[in-house]
Amino acid sequence: MSSKYYGSRGSGAPSWYLQRVTGVVLFVVAIGHYILMHYHIDSGHTYDAVLARMQNPLYKMLQITFVVIGLYHGLSGTWNVFRDYKMPGWLSWTILGLLYTAGVAFAGLGIATILSF
Amino acid sequence: MQVTFRIQKYNPETDTTPYYKEFVVDGVDETWRVLDVLEKIKGSMDGTLTYRRSCAHGVCGSDGMRINGRNRLACSILLKDLNYRNVVTLEPLPSMPVIKDLVVDLSDFYKKYELVKPYLITKTNPPEAERLQSNEDAEKLFESAKCILCACCSTSCPSLWTNENYLGPAALLKAYRFTFDTRDEAPEERLDIVDTQDGIWRCHTIFNCIEACPKEINITWHISQLKKALVNREI
Amino acid sequence: MVHTFDVIIVGAGGAGLRAALEIPQGFSCAVLSKVYPSRSHTGTAQGGVCAALANEEEDSWEWHMFDTVKGSDYLGDQDSIEIMCRDAIRAIIELEHMGLPFSRTPDGKIAQRMFGGHTRPENPADPNSKRVAVRRACYSADRTGHVMLHTLFENCIKQGVNFYNEFFVTDLIINKGVCCGVVAMEIGTGEIHTFHAKAVMFATGGYGRAFRITSNALIGTGDGCNIAYENGIPMEDMEFFQFHPTGLWKLGILISEAARGEGGILRNNAGERFMERYAPTVKDLAPRDMVSRAIYTEIKEGRGIKGSDGTYYVNLDLTHLGAQTIKDKIPEITGFARTYLGVEPLTEPIPVQPTAHYAMGGIPTDNDARVFLNAKGKILPGFYAAGECACVSVHGANRLGTNSLLDIIVFGRRGGKAIAQYLKEAEFTPLPKHPEGKSRKMVDDILSSKGTENAAQIRTEVQEQMMDKCSVYREAKLMKELVGDVRDLKRRYKNISIADHGKKFNTELMEAIELRHLLGTAETIAVCALNRQESRGAHARVDFPKRDDKKWLKHSFIQHEDGKPKISYKPVVITKFQPKERVY
């Protein structure tokens, strides 16, 4: 089968579906985040308040999930935008590599920051 | 009544780039089809004007072109449907190689159509009489079977403008037509074909195809049915 | 450039595609079409295709055959009609198996509707009882031709048929009394190609564009018929040209008989259902020739409705059918009324007028699409014709609605099978010297001409003349004028020049060549119509208002001999049904 008109052979269904699921999750979490940070009576922006919340392991887990999902959704979305363009193989591999690197780096940075509390 | 047509012209044998030429056509009526005006220009003003046409009533899909910036059939649009008191601009369908004036090269379009196996695949021997199918199941195919392969949808799709490898709405619509035919015995083969990065997943539900379709087919809905089937299959 | 194939099929409509599917693996076959296959005129057929499946009510192929014979005004060859009506049942089932999306009955079978001229005895046990309309037309909403064309095209893709799209055939090659290929111009490049073949089939469609008001596509210019005629092959029954009663007023766009099959009614300016007077039993579902004449008579006697431009029409009333029926059963044609006339069929009647629709005549063939060289039945080896361009003759003097789609799938297939049989023994006949010489000269003459005539102008004139002098009603005086007019136009044609001198995609050149064919065809129609001194089916003479079986129960053959048309006759094959007066 010619590769023209097909692109990579792997099914696109899981990533398409995951992008929508993560989108919905992010939407809900982002609203929670917004309420927590800006509207909750007790929250405030003080270092102490944040530090106190961060002592809860469940809350840490939530933050890590938020970082990972956010990065996945954002970077996979970016890749999808690039995929709309017809590119030579080397360029698409380079961009994909850069996106993966950025993903790993930012995930590491984010998780390290969360865990440092 | 008089109308002014501004038509993109390009003769591969003499021109290096396309240009626009204006025609002021007398003696027309607002109930005329755009195609009638083209025939008048070709017959009495400029014989070199080149376009495809056949049935002249929106059934054969020959005369898809860009009319005032939108992909339409010249035979299905009357002057009164347009803002004809201003200049009416005609251009070839976008994103396809232009052969001459309003004629574009459709080989890529048909190639993609052929790729999705646009035919009923059966493996079991047919019964002596017809295969039974409920009228509801048959009617699920009618909208997609209306397609006249005019290429108005595919050439209006931004995903296809940027990535020529994308199958495009017309081919995907055809894939729906057979994948969801209860008589078809190889829907998986067809799903495999569309389930690739340059296959169905370049569709970002932009809806340009629906706006362009002269047969008023809800193409995006049909594509989304294929996506649903794929998600159900893979997850 | 010379290409070699075992079979060349010219025309990618229903007949050509169906024939291509019959060419067995191991033989090479190419289909040449001046447009993409999906643009062929088969796609514009709407209402249905008849077969006595008896899915909706009792039916039999013999009743179908009787209707076809009677519809043909007893000019159809009954052996051929029997083949068609018997084979119809198998042919429709086969199309269903190929994937055609038919509308269905509640129990999942192919749905059927009523159509003009298709009847059954009211009491099935008594064949002589009064005939009433029968549900015989298998359909897919009102897009039956469209889905048939696409289904056949799809199956050709599945089978890997070679297509040469946008190749315009300009000549037929006959050498040593055998047909051995065609010459074609590749439209995209202007290059002339020679296709060498053992067998050639013409499935080139009709020539409705010879008339001003027509339902036919702009490509329906009779190319195949005239190319055959110019090569010495006769044309059969050219005087019989069907006018469909319900074309959109002024435009001629077809409004299918299905509209009346679903219950639509024709009304005159007083709102009267006038068909009750002309065909008391089947009323609006009378055959097309009768309904067209009735409309002309209504208008002539002052009961038409005057339109904004001074021309007259009658109304097709669908307002009582209800939104659901219109949406489900006849969505396309009601859409045409909205788009082109701005009429809402749910609440307003649709203005209609008779429109040139179908050529009963054409290249004479036997029941296996083999082409006759003369009225005595001599065959031209290697040459086949099927579809509207051919005359088997199953339609005789007037075709019944739906029988054209049936004709193409039955005789397209039979032609394909006959070719497959012929190929088993046939050898390539060598090409003559310079087979493309005539075509090259024709093209060069037009390109280099400095003449003063305009092709589009001549085309308009011939269409006007044909419409005014040789349409639904005909008489000697006007037709004599017409023959002269057409010959004048042919003379003027020699002096045309065109503005586009390019090679690539020169549609002006193509249209000029099409005009040559249109003029040639128009002449044969006019000459044959003047010659037949009786009224039969679609050929209604004011000066000879009666059918005359004694003198005219015969097919006319017109043949080009020494630069002049010559007419000869072939007897009609009558088997089961003796000619009777034709009343409905």
Q: What is the DSSP string of C59-79?
A: --HHHHHHHHHHHTTT-S-HH
Contacts of A82 in chain B (CB under 8 A): none
Best A1, A2, A6, A81 residue to mutate vs chain B (most B CBs within 10 Å): A6
Residue B152 pLDDT > 90: yes
C453's CB contacts (< 8 A; 6+ apart) are: C492, C493, C495, C496, C497
Provide the residue range defining the domain that includes A34.
13-115
Check if C338 is active-site. no
Q: What is the mean pLDDT of residues A51-80?
A: 92
Instruction: List, for residues B171-220, the tens digit of each pLDDT value.
Output: 999 999 999 999 999 999 999 999 988 899 999 999 999 999 999 999 99
Residue A89 touches chain B, beta carbons under 8 Å: no
Q: Given this model, what pLDDT does residue C114 score?
A: 95
Chain Cα centroid distance, residue B5: 23
Q: Which helix (H) or strand (E) holds A51?
A: helix A47-54
Does the distance separating the beta carbons of B48 and C104 come in below 8 Å?
no
Residue A1 lies in a domain: no
Which chains have at least 3 CB atom pairs separated by less than 8 Å from chain C? B
Residue A81 lies in a domain: yes
Q: Given this model, what pLDDT does residue C127 score?
A: 84
Closest chain A residue to the Cα of B231, Cα to Cα:
A13
Residue A90 lies in a domain: yes
Which chains have at least 3 CB atom pairs separated by less than 8 Å from chain A? B
DSSP state of C339: I
Rounded distance between C-alpha atoms, residue B194 and residue B188, angstroms: 10
How many angstroms away from the CA of A80 is the closest CA of chain B? 8
Contacts of A84 in chain B (CB under 8 A): 158-159, 162-163, 202, 204
pLDDT category of residue A11 using cuts at 50, 70 and 90: confident
Residue A8 pLDDT > 80: no
CATH number at residue A71: 1.20.1300.10
**CATH architecture of residue range(s) C437-571:** Up-down Bundle (1.20)
pLDDT category of residue A1 using cuts at 50, 70 and 90: very low
User: For C249-353, which CATH class?
Assistant: alpha beta
Does the distance separating the beta carbons of B132 and C93 come in below 8 Å?
no
Which chains have at least 3 CB atom pairs separated by less than 8 Å from chain B? A, C
Residue A57 lies in a domain: yes
Contacts of A10 in chain B (CB under 8 A): 196-197
Closest chain B residue to the Cα of C217, Cα to Cα:
B55
Q: Given this model, what pLDDT does residue A44 score?
A: 59
Domain edges within chain C: 249-353, 437-571
Touching pair C, A by Cβ (3+ pairs < 8 Å): no
Q: Which residue has the tokens 């007897």?
A: C571
Residue A2 lies in a domain: no
How many angstroms away from the CA of A16 is the closest CA of chain B? 7
> Domain B3-104: which topology?
Ubiquitin-like (UB roll) (3.10.20)
How many angstroms away from the CA of C241 is the closest CA of chain B? 19
Torsions phi, psi for C36 (to 5 deg): -70, 145
Q: For A11, which of B167, B195, B202 is closest by C-beta distance?
A: B195
Contacts of C102 in chain B (CB under 8 A): 130, 138
**Is C92:C51 a contact under the CB 8 Å cutoff?**
yes
Range name among A36-45, B90-99, C129-138, C575-584 with the lowest pLDDT average: A36-45
Interface residues on B facing A, Cβ-Cβ cutoff 8 A? 111-112, 115, 158-159, 162-167, 193, 195-202, 204, 227, 230-231, 233-235
Does the distance separating the beta carbons of C99 and B183 come in below 8 Å?
yes
Q: Given this model, what pLDDT does residue A41 score?
A: 63
Q: Given this model, what pLDDT does residue B203 score?
A: 95
> What number of helices (H) and strands (E) belong to chain B?
8, 7
* Size of the A and B interface in Cβ pairs below 8 Å: 68
Range name among A28-37, B17-26, C29-38, C172-181 with the lowest pLDDT average: A28-37
Helices (H), B70-218: 107-115, 135-145, 158-162, 169-179, 187-194, 208-212
Q: What is the ipTM of this complex?
A: 0.97
Residue A7 lies in a domain: no
Instruction: List, for residues C420-478, the tens digit of each pLDDT value.
Output: 999 999 999 999 999 999 999 999 999 999 999 999 999 999 999 999 999 999 999 99
Residue A6 lies in a domain: no
Q: For C44, which of B52, B55, B128 is closest by C-beta distance?
A: B55
* Size of the B and C interface in Cβ pairs below 8 Å: 164
Touching pair B, C by Cβ (3+ pairs < 8 Å): yes
Helices (H), C494-547: 507-531
For chain B, give every residue range classified as CATH 1.10.1060.10.
107-234
DSSP state of C432: P
Q: What is the mean pLDDT of residues B37-58?
A: 97
Q: Given this model, what pLDDT does residue C241 score?
A: 98
| Active-site annotation holder among C288, C399, C414, C547 | C288
Residue A8 lies in a domain: no
Best C89, C97, C162 residue to mutate vs chain B (most B CBs within 10 Å): C97
| Number of domains, chain A | 1
**CATH architecture of residue range(s) B107-234:** Orthogonal Bundle (1.10)
pLDDT under 70: residue ranges of chain C: none
Q: What is the DSSP string of C21-46?
A: TTSPTTS-EEEEESS-GGGSGGGG--
